[in-house]
Amino acid sequence: MRITKLLTLAMVVGATSINVALAAPSQARPVDDRVSACVEGEGHGASARGGHGVDHRDVSPREQRAIARKTKARLRAQGVTRAELRNRSVSVPVYVHVMAASDGTGDVTDAQIADQIDVLNETFAGGESPDAADTGFSFSLAGTDRFYNDAWHQDHASSKYRKATRQGGANALNIWLVDFKYLGIATFPWDYQRNGGIDGIRVHYDSLPGGGIANYDLGETATHEAGHWFGLYHTFQGGCTELNDEVADTPAQSSPTSGCPAGRDSCELPGLDPIHNYMDYSYDSCYTEFSPGQASRAQSMWAAYRG
């Protein structure tokens, strides 16, 4: 898979470097008529991956700072040290809920689900680039269930169906495979305490490996959304600011990436845009890494809210 992805990446980078001037850099990625809302909190979606506009409750700089203070206080109360976090390995149980239509549309195969788990393991282990961080997280399939319900398939009454089907505790990643206008939507770890019944990620079933959404069919929508579930912001969170995504080794960027534009630099602060980072909005084939700072943040968030 990695060789195929590298070949695809080379073609995409070449094409994008020629055509990048044709689209405004702030434009979110079109995927047919879909967008990818990213983070959900209190029933709202997050930002648009693969489409125009935003669909989320904004996480303001003030709220970011409040969450950071809360996280620090929780870690201090637990007596968790940075050394412990650096050396921690965590196995995450994954429950996959296939929300198919009554005619079987969206009824992905067990092989596709297994391939998706493989992608999560490869991407979170730093397996797609020598520059990528091993986050310390691994994933194992704990269960799969299938529902044939047209309303649930189209993500109607999502809070109701998630509360009815979710399995496991705060440490369990639940993935609902649906057909909606997004690529994916996730919840943040700090929202689990007040709304744990809907905790997890919703992913378009056709974004799994071998799916039919062009440029988003390698299974890395789930990687992106799982990043939010672990507490990572977009690399363009807050725009061109020092606060940004609160991760020192992901250069600030003013807007999401579309495609895979090599050398993109949307911000006057140091560093090129991290277009290969899983928390940007690049094509699946462009994604190759989480940074060491993101790995450290994810481990901190896990200890504070999911461990």
Q: Specify whether the CB–CB gap between 228 and 305 falls below 8 A.
A: no
- Whether 246 is catalytic: no
Q: Estimate the crossing angle of helix 110-124 against helix 220-229, to 10 degrees.
A: 60
Surface-to-core class of residue 288, CB atoms within 10 Å of its CB (0-12 exposed, 13-18 middle, 19+ buried): buried
- Identify the active-site residue in 40, 128, 225, 246: 225
Q: What are phi and psi of 180, to 5 degrees?
A: -140, -175
Per-residue burial over 204-220, b = 16 or more CB atoms within 10 Å of its CB, e = otherwise: bbbbbbebebebbbbbb
Sorted by sequence, the CB contacts under 8 Å of residue 108 that are 6+ apart come out as: 98, 177, 205, 208
Closest alpha carbon to 246 in 188, 173, 288:
188
Residue type, 120: L
Catalytic site positions: 225
